[in-house]
Amino acid sequence: MRIGRLGVTLAGAAVALAAQAATSDAFCGFYVSNSGDKLFADATQVVLMRDGTRTVLSMQNDYKGPLADFAMVVPVPVVLKEKDVKTLPKGVFHNTDALGSPRLVEYWEQDPCQPDFYDDVRLARAGAVKATAEMQVDKSDHSVKIEAQFTVGEYQILILSATDSAGLETWLRANKYKIPDGAEPLLRPYVEAGSKFFVAKVDPKKVQQVDGRAALSPLRFHYDAEEFALPIRLGMANSSGKQDLIVNIISSDKRYEVANYKNVFIPTNFDVKGDVRSRFGEFYAALFDKTLEANPGAVVTEYAWTAVPNYHCDPCTDADISNPDLITLGGDVVGGRIAAGNFVLTRLHARYGKEDMKDDLRFKEARPVTGGREQRNASGALEYGATASSANYFQARYAIRHWWTGPVKCEKPQRGRWGGPPDGAQPSTIAASKTAFAPRGKLELARVIGRDLTEIGYKKAAPTGGGAGSFAKPPGGSRAMDLGLGLLGGLVTIGAGLLATRRRRKE
């Protein structure tokens, strides 16, 4: 990201944003520097926690480049006080992003003659169900007022108000902030709406540089406001390409979607060829792009899951939100169900250019949905798409399957029963992360998917023969049974949207 690029970034115990564009990142404010040097943001994550009218925003940015008097400007609805702002450890952002990431699983067909298989699954399911340094700034009046100033960690923070957007632009330039040309029209709607401006300057002496990258502490602040929105208009200034914006929203019991753009769910629950294993990020980027081609300007829902203590996901990736993470991201401020470990994580993903979005993202509550689980219909086909439900259990999930190739010596073999590998090893779940950086245009999606993607009107390619990357078939073409994945590395699918036992690290 170039210095002065306005962008988008929000975070907290209800929403996590991850901006991962290769040519430009998304932020809710803009970056300025009185050195005039270029700064690059390789990774940005934001988490918004929303409970009632309380929003907790946490954001993390990693930068590569000089930091001479670097500053970040973010519009906020109220005047923030020192007690409202703190720095955070980086690990909480990795865990939040991993929990909602699209995932690739790998299943092996179990021995068709395995005795008591159904009894084992029924017992397992039954058990699961039971179970302040002064800042040196020019204070001359350009219709701008310094409402507050204080220091938190390596950040020197100003809270500004303004009655005129041109005056705010003049003030920033007078204080040697080289903001991008054309910033005033983008600042204007926020000034007219009465927004304040959170300006976080960085003291380079307090920041460690490793290989040219600044290890900045994540920032968190909270406020009360009736509207639940993410300001992205500032992020359009000087945008020269596509921006990826990932919004992870954490609330006590609700799924969210956007109110002012089209919503669409990512196609989910289909088998893929084995070679997707080494190209999963590239595969998912291709799938996401095809989804937007069919739904221009849409915001894509990738995850919406109801989490309770000891059950956050099924299957889980290598990281997860812990109760201490929830407290760190805002549970100490909102309390209630979230602080006790009960929450819904919604992950929204947008990819847009300078002309694609003319308004901020405005969020609204949405009905619960389910989809992307190892559940089959009466004909034995996996469920797909998002369907109405009493609770949220939707995820972007894709599978590589290995059919049983051993001997079958019983009279009535039971095909299509899925679990872990024959050697008893723990299967891994691969998460698709930083897909904005994945190669685009090199993977032919139609040749690696196992079904037509009717959700977006996209067809799979005709079969071209066998090979290691081809889809395996059960001997004899037996129909898969409606049993789910069985016991997979300690995970048990309960079915019908009920809770399941979850493999999880001890906190």
Query: Cα-atom radius of gyration of the chain, to the nearest Å?
Result: 24
**Contact criterion met (CB below 8 Å) for 353 and 241:** yes
In terms of DSSP bridges, do strands 397-402 and 270-271 run parallel, antiparallel, or are they unpaired?
Answer: parallel
Flag whether pLDDT at 391 surpasses 90. yes
For 221-286, give the DSSP string: EEEE-S--EE--GGGGTT--S-EEEEEEEEESS-EEEESSS-EEEPP--EEB-GGGGGGHHHHHHH
Give a yes or no: residue 178 inside a domain.
no
For residue 337, the enclosing domain spans 9-23+45-61+87-131+224-507
* pLDDT value of residue 414: 86
d(CA 57, CA 221): 5
Mean pLDDT of 324-342: 94
Is 480 inside a domain boundary?
Answer: yes
pLDDT at 396: 96
Return the pLDDT at 218.
87
Using the predicted structure, report yes or no on whether residue 383 has a pLDDT greater than 90: no
Cis peptide bond N-terminal to 407, omega within 30: no
Centre a 10 Å sphere on the Cβ of residue 456 and count the other Cβ atoms it contains.
17
| pLDDT higher than threshold 50 for residue 25 | no
Confidence of residue 61 (pLDDT cuts 50, 70, 90): low
Decide if 412 contacts 231 (C-beta within 8 A). no
Q: Is residue 217 part of a domain?
A: no
Task: Examine residue 418 and state whether it is found in any structural domain, yes or no.
Answer: yes
For residue 165, being part of any structural domain is answered with no
Torsion angle, CA of 30/60/93/89, rounded to 10 degrees? -160
For residues 456 and 300, the answer to whether their CB atoms sit within 8 Å is no
Confidence of residue 24 (pLDDT cuts 50, 70, 90): very low
Residue 498 has pLDDT above 90, yes or no: no
> Which residue from 396, 395, 413 is spatially nearest to 404, judged by alpha carbons?
413
Q: For residue 76, is it within any domain? A: no
Please name which of 20, 18, 10 lies closest in space to residue 72, comparing C-alpha atoms.
Answer: 10
In a domain, 325, yes or no: yes
Average pLDDT of the chain to the nearest whole number: 77
pLDDT in tens, 163-176: 999 999 888 888 77
What is the structure's pLDDT at 433?
80
In this prediction, residue 306 has a pLDDT band, given cuts at 50, 70 and 90, of very high
Of the chain, the percentage scoring pLDDT greater than 90 comes to 40
Alpha carbon distance 304, 125 (integer Å): 23
- What are the percentages of helix, strand and coil residues in the chain, rounded to 5? 20, 30, 50
- The count of structural domains within the chain is 1
- pLDDT tier for residue 38 given thresholds of 50, 70 and 90: very low
- Averaged over 232-253, what is the pLDDT? 76
Is residue 182 in a domain?
no
> Over the stretch 191-208, which tens digit does the pLDDT of each residue have?
999 999 998 888 888 887
Q: Where are the extended beta strands (E) located within 372-496?
A: 387-388, 393-395, 397-402, 418-419, 430-431, 487-488, 491-492
pTM for the whole thing? 0.79
Confidence at residue 158, expressed as pLDDT on a 0 to 100 scale: 92
